[in-house]
Structure formats: C-alpha cells, structure tokens
Structure 1
Amino acid sequence: MNLALWIVTALLAVAYLFGGAFKVITPKEKIAAGGSSGRWVEDFSAGGVKAIGTLEVLAAAGLVLPAVLDVAPVLVPLAALGLSLLMLGAAVIRLRRRETKLVVVDLVYAALAAFVAAGRFGPESFTG
C-alpha cells in the first residue's frame, strides 16, 4: 500500500508541478488557444488562472517535500485533500461549460488525490 501511495503521489506531483507552472508562466490567451481542454480559462481572470497554477505548484511540493524532509508530514494528506477539492471544482466548471468528456479526467485526478489523502490520513500515515 505504501508503494502504491508513493507512486500515485509522485505522478500527481509531477503532473501538478508542470501543469501549474505552465499556468503561471503562460498567458491566459495562449492557454485558451491551445484547444478544448484549455478553454476553461475564459471563465477566469488572468490573475485567477495564475492563482490556480500557483496553488497547483504548491500542492505538488506539499505532496512530496514534507514526507521526504520529515518536516510536518501531516501536510502531505492535507495537500492531497486540497488537490482533490480543486479537481472537484474543476469538474463543476467543466459541467457548467458542458465539457462533459473532460469531466472524467478531472474526476480521475480528484479520485487519485483522495486515495493519497485517505491513505496518508489512515493506514499509511507518516505521523503514527
């Protein structure tokens, strides 16, 4: 179970680190022009998109660094829980925009983050 949690955590951290950094450094208009998966930015200001990207980068760091450095490891499941909530919000935005095919992707990310949160709060906790 611990190995599965680490694998999922690493995959999520990499995905959110790169995805969040992309949102921070790329102009909103360029994200929207990238295809149907990026049109959600039309519902947010440029600052809002950068804030979401920043949250994703911080969550990626929060998934790994506290456990690796053994500094406040309780932050790992909290970061995973935050990501899960973020992705549930993303799914709501997609539903509101009638982008139903992409809702599944958001829900898979939410489920993976919830798996990490449940595992690190529960049976494979770093604190107990």
Structure 2
Amino acid sequence: MKIVKTIFCNNKMASCLICNTTYRAGESIIPLPSCKCGNIPFFDVTVHQVRCSVSWEYVKVDCKNNWQHVVLEQIKQFGKPKHVIKFKTEEEKIDYSLSLLLHPHDIHFETSRKDGFNYFDD
C-alpha cells in the first residue's frame, strides 16, 4: 500500500491532488469555494493568502500511477476514500512526518506528475 498526501498548500495557493482543484491568492471569493471531490470543504481566498480545511489529508492506495482515479471511484462509491489515515493529535501527525524524514530508505519520493507534486511509498 502507498501513503499519499492529498493536498498541497502554502500561503499563496492550495490544491486538492485528488481532483486537481486549485485556488491561488487573489480577490476574495464569496461564498467560499470547495473542491470537486469533497476533500477540501472550503478554500478561504484573500488577496495575500489561501487557507483551506481538509477532510482526508493522507490516504492509502494500492497503486501509485492512477491513485487519483482510484480514490475518486472510492469517493463515488462510499462517500470518502476507503483507507484514510487519521491522526488523533497534531503531535502524532508531526511524529509521522518526522519518521518519514528520519527513514528515507523506507520511502521513495517521486515527482512524475507534470505539476511536480510529490507522493510517497510507505
């Protein structure tokens, strides 16, 4: 199984990597937009930044080449991805991220997508 981060977010833009919905900082949008698949319930767009909420930040998938298609099919069938990784606390999330950094031999970063977003193996 592969663990995939489903969003890319910084101060200037936020993207759902499942359905490829992206918003960039700019003119405020009212009502708050969401992504097509439901992973990002809202994007808070302002002139200086973009913030967002996330439903499924990490998911497990069986394949890495067409994982978006697989996850979209699961959302269609079940209303959410089948294997969502939920962290109970922010500390668990940080510990998980640090373990990925400390054990790089366990994961393989790839940037095969044209947009350069990363996904990784567990």
Higher share of residues assigned helix? 1
TM-score of the superposition, structure 1-length normalised?
0.24
Higher share of residues assigned strand? 2
